[in-house]
Amino acid sequence: MKTFKLVGLSVIDREMRRQDIPFIDGLIINKEDGQNRWLVEAYLDDHYEPMFAGLKEQPEFQLQVTITNPGNDPANMLVAVRSITKMNGHISVLMEGLMIPRRTHLAEVVLAGLVEKGLQGEALLKEFRQQMDERQGARTHHERNR
């Protein structure tokens, strides 16, 4: 297993909106199990407990993580919450999941969400470009906020 410092964390909701999650500390561990499985642990303020408790009820959800350096491109993951541990006004959230190929999968997920909303033609293209630009801008956002 290889362990890395977590420097950026965002939850992507079903409408493909990104919510940056400020955290106190975090790790990401490559399990090196041949199945591309990773563990993510984030130590955060306990007011995020209801959000992660709700996510724990889902079989999986999309997460964006930035590893080691805020200038690195965020990586996309499909994860499930494994545990939430309370600690003196804070929580530790342990998530497990798969890294997903960055550009191809992200484009497919964004496009599928827009088609589901019924967008077509020029409106579809415009919204697709905007959402892809927003997701590519995650790196810039993390750099500004660190």
* Highest mean pLDDT: which range of 15-24, 85-94, 128-137: 85-94
pLDDT (0 to 100) of residue 127: 87
Reply yes or no on whether the pLDDT at 145 is more than 60.
Answer: no
Q: On the CB side of 133, how many CA atoms lie within 13 Å of its CA?
A: 6
Secondary structure letter of residue 59 according to DSSP = S
Domain that includes residue 80, residue range: 2-144
Number of domains in the chain: 1
What does the DSSP 8-state code read for residue 35? S
Residue 134, judged by CB atoms within 10 A of its CB (0-12, 13-18, 19+), counts as middle
pLDDT tens by residue, 104-140? 566 777 787 788 888 889 988 898 888 877 765 544 4
Token pair recorded at residue 58: 């889902």
Higher pLDDT, 143 or 59: 59
Checking if the pLDDT of 143 tops 60, the result is no
Assess contact for 11 and 55: CB atoms under 8 A: yes
DSSP letter at 23? -
